[in-house]
Amino acid sequence: MDSLIAADLSALALRVRAHVIRMAAGGGCFLGASLSCTDLLVYLYARSLDIDPDEPARPDRDYLFLSKGHDVPALYGTLAELGFFPVSRLERHLSVDDALYWHPNRAVPGVEFHSGSLGHLLSVGIGVAYDLRLRGSARKVVVLVGDGELNEGSIWEALLVAGALRLGNLVVVVDRNGFQANLPTEALVPLEPLAAKFEAFGCLTVSTDGHDFGALDAAFAPLEAPRDRPAVVVARTVRGKGVPSIEARADRWFCRFTDLEVEALLRELHGASEAALQSEALLVR
Amino acid sequence: MKSTYESALRELALEDERLMVLTAENRASIRGLPAVLGSRFIDTGITEQTMIGLAAGLALRGRIPVAHALAAFLTMRPFEFIRTDVGLPALPVKLVGSVPGVMSEANGPTHQALEDVGLMRGIPNMRVFCPADLQDLAIGLPHVIRDPAPWYIRYVDRPTVFEHDPNFRIGAAEVVTDGNDVAILVYGALFREAHQAANLLAADGLSVRLLNLRTIEPIDRDAVIESAKRTRLLVLVEDHFSTGGLPSIVGELLLEERLTARTLTIGFGRRWFTPGLLDDVLRVEQLTPADLAARIRRALETPSHA
């Protein structure tokens, strides 16, 4: 990848992370899960998906379904930065006068479907991918799932069907941050060897660093070639990526911070030393 | 003989390319459609959740998916997918549940859908069509498919023994006979027994009002209220649990209207029925026309406390 492009993406991701951290003030948000997939969403919307911010519902477009849902602050931030709606609208996070609540919904421009109940949107994405193919469209469907979400049987059921239907226009991206709500995934329902599971399900499977834009380019480039089976990108990520004081911690999933703590976290995001956080950890919803 | 359901659905599919037929490997009523529809027919295998999500995805793309599975599995295994991915966004997905209620015959309680109507009606935006038999189903099907709402169709393939009114309107019951002594409200497979019971009661000189409810959501409020006001006894007949069934539905309505009515509820209460072939089930569960007529006569003869 061109180093200038990578620098632009990094700058964009930094702005999105700042938005996400601000959403942890007041009522809070699922901060850890949002920061782990920020680079993935920035990469996908900026480099991979063909979706027009001025006409996000154009029938002939690529689709991204955010299946785990609670990572939606990263999507709100990315969509706002890319012009789907004004950045100022992010200040209305959790306002009853807007629709920017803890889980995605279609009232927000660019959000394809509501989610938050885990294990739903892979099957919805299959329906969209099937119709795109039926109409002769070359568009693709990307479904972003969490690794904890892979506990759900409906994910594996849908993968069987996606394989049976030979959906070569479907890409599942796993935000492999290593945690589910309260625990490391391997401490509760172990998933490894994960890539081998997807391969055994007949998927073209690629593993990559989910925070390195060059690595993401290398992972996604081969998926542009025609194929007759779904693809899976297992993206290794870090929960809370970007702010070391909350990185890779089981107790920083849903976070609600004071304004002062948010300011400290923003300074930390921009290179200052770790923020001193007093707010209660592990406010599980 | 070809099922009239399959031919009605084929006709609708051929005139509207948006229509797609899905099944979770339940092909009994649609065996001829794969050859006719090609890629517009999808058998997802035994995957009810995936089928519902897939149907929602197709609907997002402008399709009208008609999804088939046994009623018990279609409405319960993927219930939350129906509620969240179809009901909440009000997508035009049509769910067709086969062998509901007594139609499951000797399959046993695992296959007895006796809560399906209550579950589907309980989802905001969902509508519910409960035809009496194949002819009634074929009459209502085009209206239900063309309506933009999500629908649950309680598929009943009993042969028709009564010529139904071809005029079908969503939210309108079929008034089979009108009368002032007793009103029988029925939907689904037990329409045949209720109809014959009504004939037996009429032969005794009773004035019987018989409603084939057809759509349960929306229900024909006026016809139900009229029945409660005008007759001495309201009889609710269904092959369903009482919770979520007609006692719940009619009860809500009467409460809203500040009405009371002497009511005889005929259904399965809070229990599963004895598995067996249909005629045996009807006999053992006291649902034959003679049984229904006798139960109604007894209720009429019991002094009212009102």
Residue A119 in any domain: the answer is: yes
Distance from CA of B39 to the nearest CA of A (A): 7
Domain range holding A169?
3-269
Is A22 a member of any domain?
Answer: yes
Fold of B4-154: Rossmann fold (3.40.50)
Q: Is domain B174-299 given the CATH code 3.40.190.10 in the classification?
A: no
CB pair distance less than 8 Å for A117 and B80: yes
Exactly one of B6, B25, B48, B217 is catalytic; which is it? B48
> CA angle, A101 as apex, A98 and A103 as ends, to 5°?
140
Q: Which CATH number goes with the domain that contains A69?
A: 3.40.50.970
Residue A274 falls within a domain, yes or no?
no
Residue B76: predicted pLDDT: 98
Of B39, B40, B85, the CB nearest to A124: B85
Between the alpha carbon of residue B301 and those of residues A78, A191, B179, B182, B184, the distances in Å are 72, 67, 18, 12, 16
The answer as to whether A206 is a domain residue is yes
pLDDT digits (tens, 9 = 90+) for B238-250: 999 999 999 999 9
Cross-chain residue pair A125–B57, CB shorter than 8 Å = yes
ipTM: 0.96
Does residue A275 sit within a domain? no
In this prediction, residue A283 carries a pLDDT of 56
Name beta bridge partners: B184.
Answer: B210, B235
Contacts of B49 in chain A (CB under 8 A): 119, 123, 154, 157-158
Over residues B255-269, mean pLDDT: 97
Residue of B nearest to A165 (CA): B44
Of B40, B62, B84, nearest to A117 by CB-CB distance is B84
Which among B196, B192, B254 is positioned nearest to B225, based on CA atoms?
B254
pLDDT at res. B305: 53
Q: What does the pLDDT look like over A144-174, one tens digit per residue? A: 999 999 999 999 999 999 999 999 999 999 9
Q: Do the beta carbons of residue B106 and residue B276 sit within 8 Å?
A: yes
Total number of domains constituting chain A: 1
Residue B90 contacts A, CB cutoff 8 Å: no
Segment (H or E) for B66: strand B64-70
Q: Quick check: A124 and B88 CB within 8 A?
A: no
Where do the structural domains in chain B lie, given as residue ranges?
Answer: 4-154, 174-299
Q: Which of A124, A159, A160 to mutate to test the interface with B (most CBs of B within 10 A)?
A: A124
Residue B266 pLDDT level (bands cut at 50, 70, 90): very high
- Contact between chains at B40 and A120 (C-beta distance less than 8 A): no
Contact yes or no for A120 and B58 at CB 8 A: no
Chain A touched by B209 (CB under 8 Å): no
Q: Is residue A126 part of a domain?
A: yes
Query: pLDDT for B274-288, tens place per residue?
Result: 999 999 999 999 999
- Distance from first CA to last CA of chain B, Å, rounded? 51
Q: Is A114 on the interface with B (CB under 8 A)?
A: yes
Q: Are B231 and B208 in contact (CB under 8 A)?
A: no
| Torsion on CA atoms B12, B14, B18, B23, rounded to nearest 10 | 70
A215 in any annotated domain: yes
> DSSP labels for B244-261?
TSHHHHHHHHHHHTT---
Asked if B174 is an active-site residue, the reply is no
Q: How far apart are CA A116 and CA A40, in angstroms?
A: 18
At A279 the pLDDT is: 85
Distance CA B67, CA B26 (A): 10
Which of A123, A132, A134 is opposite residue B53, by nearest beta carbon? A123
